[in-house]
Structure formats: structure tokens, C-alpha cells
Amino acid sequence: MQFRLIILLILVACSYSFAQSANNKPAKEKNKKEIDRGATYEVGSSKVKKKKVKYSISKDFDKKIEEYEKRMKDNAKKNQKIAKEMKKPQYSDPTYFGHKKKPKKRPPGKKKFCKECGMYH
């Protein structure tokens, strides 16, 4: 029983030390982004300073919200168009059978087979 307890304590101590060492990065890696943003480069005889880039989460988020609202308005317009189109008689009236023009009603002896809907009318 004591042997198992000792092994357990050793494993916990090892895992704790590995967890701490993973978080400790060298200073070069931490500040790499900061160094690259404000770097100066020599071009010919004059120095050119690179502009610092400032990222704003709120600006990006606001832009995404605007794009979302625009898409929703466009989708609403499309849905209204589709609903208006479906009110036409060729879609709402069952006598059209999916035709653009209402099929003729022929007498029973002269009915023709329709390739569009697969019916005789």
C-alpha cells in the first residue's frame, strides 16, 4: 500500500514539473511578434520604418455584423420573390399540372399523352 502511494506521489510530481516547463517559453519566442511589427529596414542609404499594425477585434466584429445583416436582408428579398412567384396560377392552381399554360380539355376520344406531366389530357 505504501509502495503504491510513493509511486503515485512521484508521478504527480513529474507531471507537475512537465506542466510548468511547457508554459515557460524563451523570451525570443514571446516577443517575436512585437519585434517584427516595428522593425526598421535599410533600403539603399535611407532607413524605412515599417508601420505598426493595430488589430481591433471590435472593428472586425462590427464588420461581420454588418455583413450578416446585409445577407439577411438579401435572403428576405429572395424569399419574398419566391413567395410572390408561387402565388401565380401555374403553381397554386392544381388544374395546371405543372404547366406554364393551362392544358386544353379534349374530349375522351382525342386526348393526347403529355410528356411534361405524364398524363393524358
The tens digit of pLDDT for each residue in 27-78 reads 544 444 444 445 555 555 556 666 666 666 777 888 999 999 999 999 999 9
pLDDT band, very low/low/confident/very high, at 8 (cuts 50, 70, 90): confident
Q: Where are the beta strands (DSSP E) in the chain?
A: 40-43, 46-49
- pLDDT digits 0-9 by tens, 106-120: 999 999 998 888 888
pTM beyond 0.75 = no
Question: What per-residue confidence (pLDDT) applies to 89?
Answer: 82
| Kind of pairing between the strands at 40-43 and 46-49 | antiparallel
CA angle 64, 65, 66 (to 5 degrees): 90
**Whether pLDDT at 100 is above 70:** yes
pLDDT band, very low/low/confident/very high, at 97 (cuts 50, 70, 90): confident
Question: What per-residue confidence (pLDDT) applies to 36?
Answer: 45
DSSP string computed for 63-118: HHHHHHHHHHHHHHHHHHHHHHHHTSHHHH-GGGTT-SSPPP---GGG--B-TTTS
**Alpha-carbon distance 99 to 112, whole Å?**
15
**Whether pLDDT at 95 is above 70:** yes
Main-chain dihedrals φ then ψ at residue 85, nearest 5 degrees: -65, -35
